[in-house]
Amino acid sequence: MNSPSDSSFPLGTLTIGKTFDFEAGHRLPSLPPEHKCSHQHGHSYQVEVILTAPTLEAPGFVTDFGALAPFKKFLDTELDHQNLHEVLPFEPTSEHVAQFLAGWIIQNLEPDIPGRLVAVRVCETERSWARFDVEQR
């Protein structure tokens, strides 16, 4: 089996992703009353975290998936089965939630993991999602 130092491996950037989920309700009160999202409703949210690294850490990881456990704990304790408009300091659109979660990861996980956050994608349904791409740092 080839190793990363083997010349047959192409040069490039390695990227990983992990998906988490939580259940939550919300409403978007700034919308007109006739808009369905202005009323209380819920979603089975899926959150995809995408990380990259120019080189791999032993034994060959961008980031050990286990190192993302604090993020899962945050979702479970702070957002799961909550009314998002009551626990978040902004209107909880998927776009805002993706940007907020990216900020949490950068502040709370990145100092302790080898990978760097590329993007966070928040899905409200199988066909509806928002993605926040982190500016290159």
Distance CA 44, CA 95 (A): 16
Answer yes or no: is 43 a known binding residue. yes
Answer yes or no: is 35 a known binding residue. no
Distance CA 115, CA 88 (A): 27
Q: Which helix (H) or strand (E) holds 97?
A: helix 94-108
Cβ-based burial of 45 (10 A; exposed 0-12, middle 13-18, buried ≥19): buried
Residues with catalytic roles: 37, 81, 124
Answer yes or no: is 26 a known binding residue. yes
- As a 3-state breakdown, the chain gives helix, strand, coil percent values, each rounded to 5, of 30, 35, 35
Binding residues for Zn(2+): 26, 41, 43
